[in-house]
Structure 1
Amino acid sequence: MAILVIGSNGQIGKQFCELAQQAGTSVKAMIRSEEQAAWFHERGIDSVVADLEGEFEHAFEGCDQVVFTAGSGPHTGPDKTLMIDLFGAIRAADVAKQKGLSRYIMVSAMRAENPLGAPEKLRPYMVAKFAADAHLRNGKLPYVILKPGRLTDESASRLFASTVEESGDNQISRANVAHALLHVVQTSSIINQEYSLLDGKRSIEEIIQ
C-alpha cells in the first residue's frame, strides 16, 4: 500500500516524495496534470492526475495513508484559499475516512492556532488551516498534524525545536519539514497527535514521540 501525497508538486511535497522513494517507502504523487508527471517518473515515483478542486476519489485507490501538503500559494486570492486549503483538505479527510485509510497527516502551520495573531495578509490562510485542523480533530479518522513555523529554503539540518523559545526563531526549512513527514509516515504508532516544528538542535525522534 502506498501513501497518497496531495500537494506533491509543491516544494515540501517534492522533497518528501524523493526522500520516501529513497527510503523505500511507497508513495503516490497526486498531480494536477500530465505535464507535472515527468519529474516524478524520472525518479521512479508513481503519480496520479486528480483535481483537488474537482474529482479526486480515484487517487486514493491502493493507498492506506494520505499526506496533505497542498497550498494555494501566496499569489492567489481568498477564493483559492477556500477551495484548496480549507475545502480541499476537508474533502480529502472525508474521502480518506470513507475509504478506511489508517491515517491523515496534515501539514498545517503554527499560527493556525491563533489566526488573528498572524500578519493580516496571512489571516485567511490561517483561518483555513484552523478550520481544516478542527475538522480532523473532531472526526473519527486517525490523524497527525504537523505545524511548522515560517518556511525557508535552507538545506536540511535534520535538527528541530518545538517552541520559539527553544529555537530562538520562528522558522524551519521546507527540507526539515520533509524529513519530519518521512519520520511520521514510517512510524505507524503516532496517532492523533500534533507537533510544532522549528529549526533547532534536537533530533526528530526527540520532538515526535
Structure 2
Amino acid sequence: MKVLIVGANGQIGRHIVQRLAKQEKHQVTAMIRKQEQADFFNHLGVETVIADLETEDGVLKAAEDVDAIIFTAGSGGHTGADKTMLVDLDGAFKSIEAAEKHHIKRFIMVSALHSDTPKNWKEGMEAYYTAKKRADERLRNSSLNYTILRPGWLTNEKPSGKIEAKLDLGKDGSISRENVADIAVQALDIDATFNQTIELIDGDTTINEALSSIK
C-alpha cells in the first residue's frame, strides 16, 4: 500500500514515517512544506513531496497515485485561530477532497479527544477543537474508508505499546506520541477500525489487541 503522510514533519508525523519506512508491505511518501525539511526523510530512504496545505491544489497533486492518506497535520500550539483553521480544518478538508477525487479509499485522521464535546474543551483551545470537530464530521460524511483517532493529551514519553482504546472512553488521559504513531500505522490494516472514531489513552492492552477488539 502506498501511504501519503500529510503533516510528515510534525512530531507524530515523523514517528509514523519512521515506522512505515521499516515495513516492506507499505511504501511511504512524506508530504512536507519546504525543501530544507527533506534531509530527515532522505536519511530514512523515504520519498518526499513538497506541497502546501494552504494552497488550492497542493495536496491534490501530492495525493496522486497513493492508496491511503494519514492526516496528522497541525498548526502547532503557538499559532492563532486563523492559522489553526487554515491547517487543521481547511487542510483536512482539502486532503479528504483529494482522496475522494483520486478514489483513494483508506484515510486515517489524527484528531483529538473530546473534539465533539465542547463542555470538555480546554480554555483557549476552542478554535483547535472546533477545527478537529468539523474535520471529523467531514470525514465521516465522505465516501472514504476512514478511521478517526482521538488521542488524549500528548506526551513525549517512550512508547509502551499498550493503550486503552474505545469508541467512548468516558474519561481523560494522556498518551505517548509514539504510541499514537504505532496506532496509526497498525490501524491501516485492522478491519475493526474501519469507519470508526476511536478514543485513545495509554493503558494496559497491546495496540493490536485493543484495536482489533474495539467497541
- Per the normalisation by structure 2, the TM-score is 0.91
What residue identity is the alignment partner of 1:31?
I
- Helix, strand or coil: the match of 1:160? strand
- Contact kept, 8 Å, 1:167 with 1:200, in 2: the verdict is no
Cα distance in 1 for partners of 2:8, 2:135 equals 19
CA contact (8 A) 1:2 1:64 kept: yes
SS in 2 for 1:111: coil
Question: Which residue does the alignment assign to 1:7?
Answer: 7
What amino acid sits opposite 1:181 in the alignment? A
Structure 1 alignment gaps of length 5 or more: none
For residues 47-70 of structure 1, what are the alpha-carbon distances to aligned partners after superposition, in whole Å with 9 as ceiling and x for unaligned? 100000013111012211000000
How big is the shift at 1:186? 3.4
| Preserved contact between residue 145 and residue 194 of structure 1 (Cα < 8 Å) | yes
Cα displacement (A) at 1:140: 1.5
> Are the counterparts in 1 of residues 165 and 211 from structure 2 also a CA contact under 8 Å?
no
2:84 to 68, 75, 81: 81
In the alignment, is residue 199 of structure 1 matched against residue 202 of structure 2?
A: yes
Q: Among 67, 70, 75, which residue is 2:70 paired with?
A: 67
Identity %: 40
Residue equivalent to 1:21: 21
Aligned pairs for 1:93-172 (under 5 A) are 93-162=96-165, 170-172=173-175
Structure-2 separation of matches of 1:117 and 1:74: 18
Q: What is the SS of the residue equivalent to 1:4?
A: strand
Report the secondary structure of 1:183's partner residue: helix
Matched length: 208
Give the C-alpha shift of residue 205 in structure 1.
2.0
Equivalent residue, structure 2, for 1:31: 32
**4+ long deviations beyond 3 Å:** 165-169, 186-190
* CA RMSD across the alignment: 1.9
**Bigger proportion of residues as helix:** 1
Q: Is the 8 A contact 2:6 2:31 kept in 1?
A: yes
Once the two structures are overlaid, the 10-residue window that deviates more, 181-190 or 36-45, is 181-190
In structure 1, give the amino acid aligned to 2:86. M
Conservation of the 8 A alpha-carbon contact between 2:163 and 2:200: yes
Aligned residue identity for 2:43: E
CA distance in 2, matches of 1:103, 1:127: 24
Measure the CA separation in 1 of the matches of 2:29 and 2:2. 6
The offset of 1:40, in angstroms, is 0.1
- 1:166–1:200 Cα contact (<8 Å) kept: no
- Kept after mapping to 1: 8 A contact 2:169/2:199: no
Q: After superposition, give the CA deviation of every residue in 1:8-66 in whole Å (9 maximum; x if it has no partner).
A: 00010000100111122211000001100010001101110000001311101221100
For residues 65 and 29 of structure 2, the distance between their equivalents in structure 1, rounded to whole angstroms, comes to 9
Gapped regions of structure 2 (runs ≥ 5): none
Offset at residue 162 of structure 1 (A): 2.6
Structure 2 residue matching 1:156: 3-state secondary structure: coil
